[in-house]
Amino acid sequence: MLSLSSMSESVRSGLSCFLSEQALEQEERQQRSNQLAEFQRLREVRAAAQLKNLEDFLKMNHVSLRECVSYTTGMRYRNLGKSGLRVSCLGLGEWCVCVCVCVCVCMAEELMTLAYENGINLFDTAEVYAAGKLHFMVIFALTYRRSSLVITTKIFWGGKYVYYFFLSVSLLLSPLCLASLERLQLEYVDVVFANRPDPNTPMEETVRAMTHVINQGMAMYWGTSRWSAMEIMEAYSVARQFNLIPPICEQAEYHMFQREKVEVQLPELFHKIGVGAMTWSPLACGIISGKYDSGVPPYSRASLKGYQWMKDKILSEEGRRQQAKLKELQAIAERLGCTLPQLAIAWCLRNEGVSSVLLGASSTDQLMENIGAIQVLPKLSSSIVHEVDSILGNKPYSKKDYRS
C-alpha cells in the first residue's frame, strides 16, 4: 500500500501539472488575444494610410473628399472580377424593355444622368436594346468624361444584321462589332459580352475573335453572358493554351428565386480563374416588386404582348407560393425601414462575389428607390440573411458546404 506521504506527494505533483497546463492554456489565449488585437491595429493603420493617400491624391488634383460622388451618395465600387476595372456596385441596364416599351428617349437621358449623379458609372447596352437606337448614349458620353464611364455592349444578334447569329471572326471583326461602335459613336467600349455561347463556332475561333477585338482597341475587356461554367472554363483554357485574352466576367440572372449559378458555380470560377459576376434582373422581371400579389395588373410587364410566359409563371402554383414568401419578406423590409425591392437588391449586393447588379427603371422615382438599396446593405446582418434564407428555402449548397 502507498504511504500517506507518497499519496500526498502524488496529489501535489498532479495538481502542479494541472496548474501548469492551465497556466499554459491561459498564456496561449492571451497570446491569441494579443495577436488579434495587433492584427486589428494593423488593419486600422492600413485603412488610415489608404485614406491619407486618397486625400493627398485628391488634394493634389484639387478635389475634396467630401465632394466625391461615392462619399455623398454612399455608392460602392468593386473590381470587375480580378481585373483592374472598377465599376459601381449598381449599374443601369435592361434597356430592351425599359427603353423600348416603358420610356421615351428623353426619359432615358434623364435616367442616365440621374444614375451618374448618384455614383453609377456602369451602363450596359446591346445592339438589340431600343432596336439599336441608342443615340442618347452618344449625347451622354459627350456630356461627361468618357474615362469616367464604363460602357458595355453585348453581341450575338444585332440591328439590321439579323442574319448574323454566330460569334465567328467574320462577325466580330466586320459588321456587328463595328456597327455597334458606329451606332454608339464611341471609339471603344469597356467590355464586350458574348451574349450566349455559340454552338456553331469553335471556342478557339470565338476567343481569337474577342482577342483581336481587344487588340484593335474596340474594347478593353471581354466577357460572357448566359454561358455555363464549363463553357467559361473552356474559353479560359483555350486562351491560356494559345496565349489569347480570357473573359473577365459573366453576366448572369440573380435574384431571390434564382441562386445556384451565382452562389455556387461562379465563386469557384472566380477563385480559380478570376471571372467575376455582373448580375441582372434582381427583381425577377418585377415579380419581387410586390405588384403581382393580387394577380397581373394592366400595363404591367406581364400584361405586355410577348410576355405571356411571365403571366403564366405568375399565375402558376409556383408563382402563388413565391408571392406568399414575398409577403413574409415584406414584413422584414418594413422592420428594416425599406421597401421590398430595396431589400431584394441589397440582398443581391450582400454577395461579395457580385461585382455589380444591373438595374432596370422606367421612372426617376423607381431608379432612386432602387439606388436606395445601398443604404439597406449595412442592415443585412447574418441573422437577417438567415431569416430570409429560411423563408425562401432555396439556399444552394456547394461541395464545400456539404463537407462542412
Count CA atoms within 13 Å of residue 305 on its CB side. 2
Give the fold, CATH level 3, of 68-401: TIM Barrel (3.20.20)
Task: Flag whether pLDDT at 8 surpasses 80.
Answer: no
| Nearest of 80, 113, 364 to residue 222 by alpha carbon | 80
Task: Flag whether pLDDT at 357 surpasses 50.
Answer: yes
pLDDT (average), residues 164-181: 54
Phi, psi torsion values for 256, nearest 5 degrees: -65, -20
pLDDT one-digit tens code per residue, 379-401: 999 999 999 999 999 999 866 54
Percent of the chain with pLDDT over 90: 43
3-state SS assignment for residue 234 = helix
pLDDT (average), residues 265-278: 94
Q: Which of 77, 116, 129, 163 is catalytic?
A: 129
Element at 243 (helix H, strand E): none
pLDDT one-digit tens code per residue, 16-32: 666 677 777 777 778 88
pLDDT band with cut points at 50, 70 and 90 for residue 330 = very high
**Domain boundaries defined on the chain:** 68-401
Exposure string (b/e) for 182-207, b if CB count within 10 Å is 16 or more?
ebbebebbbbbbbbbbbeebebebbb
Task: Flag whether pLDDT at 14 surpasses 70.
Answer: no
Exposure string (b/e) for 8-42, b if CB count within 10 Å is 16 or more?
eeeeeeeeeeeeeeeeeeeeeeeeeeeeeeeeeee
Answer yes or no: are the C-beta atoms of 118 and 305 closer than 8 Å: no
pTM of structure: 0.77
Secondary structure of 1-55 in HEC code, one letter for each residue:
CCCHHHHHHHHHHHHHHHHHHHHHHHHHHHHHHHHHHHHHHHHHHHHHHHHHHHH
pLDDT one-digit tens code per residue, 57-80: 767 766 665 556 666 678 999 999
Answer yes or no: are the C-beta atoms of 189 and 151 closer than 8 Å: yes
pLDDT one-digit tens code per residue, 83-108: 999 999 999 986 544 444 445 566 77
pLDDT band with cut points at 50, 70 and 90 for residue 333 = very high
Task: Flag whether pLDDT at 366 surpasses 60.
Answer: yes
129 belongs to the catalytic site: yes
Element at 77 (helix H, strand E): strand 77-79
pLDDT band with cut points at 50, 70 and 90 for residue 160 = very low
- Supply the mean pLDDT for the chain: 81
pLDDT at residue 402 in the model? 39
pLDDT at residue 79 in the model? 94
Q: Is 69 exposed, middle or buried (0-12, 13-18, 19+ CB in 10 A)?
A: middle
**Which of 5-19, 162-176, 239-253, 388-402 has the lowest average pLDDT?**
162-176
Residues 224, 230: Cα–Cα separation, whole Å: 12
Residues 78, 192: Cα–Cα separation, whole Å: 19
Q: Residues 6 or more apart from 98 whose CB is under 8 A from it? A: 108, 360, 361, 362
